[in-house]
Amino acid sequence: MKKNKISKSWINRQKKDIFVRQSKIEGYRSRAVYKLQEINDKFKVFNNQSSVLDLGAAPGSWSQYIKRNFKNIKLASIDIIKFDEIENIFQITGDFTEEKYKKKILQFFDSKIDVVISDMAVNTTGNKNLDSIQTSELCLDAMRFSKEVLKKNGKFISKIFVGSTFNEIINESRKIFKNNKVFKPKASRKESKESFIISSVLR
């Protein structure tokens, strides 16, 4: 009974959500695309000559946005979940923390990367504190990987949750990057503790 109530509540929220409606009209795979759009509008993350790695890319809306709006970007996306192909993108199904997938990524780009983006989050358990901690670990993994693969002036964008591990992420980012901002897009739901860290220029 409780599960049915939650499902109905989720369906009703989706129907009322202007970003869900807009994503369907514009042919994007999820509403998350508008978070990246806001981030890019504010921080000018991408240009037509960028090389970009999309971590935790499924279902692919961030990759869709990049390919639609920037003509010459070299883009690779990776997720442990297989998702429908997007034209002119190198897609990998696997865990980016494993060496064999790191090698695939580096072989594709054949050089350091301009931008690493991550919208990764764990599947929710109902325990908000636990979910926040586990998602923060993904962010830290992505950040440390970015240190290995980014160009000196590269940029790193990742989802973070405001919670018990927030300060740890900020402190780690300050060790790796010279410039760090935290931003909550309008497309992030008000009740969500989600924000994004935008970091640039390796130390």
Active site residue 74: no
The answer to whether the Cα torsion of 199, 44, 119, 116 is positive or negative is: negative
Q: What is the distance, to the nearest Å, from the Cα of residue 194 to the centroid of all Cα atoms in its chain?
A: 12
Nearest to 139 by CA among 120, 154, 152: 120
Nearest to 63 by CA among 85, 94, 45, 95: 85
- List 104, 128, 159, 190, catalytic entry: 159
Here the tokens at position 122 are: 């764990």
Nearest to 158 by CA among 170, 175, 171: 170
Active-site residues, by number, are 159
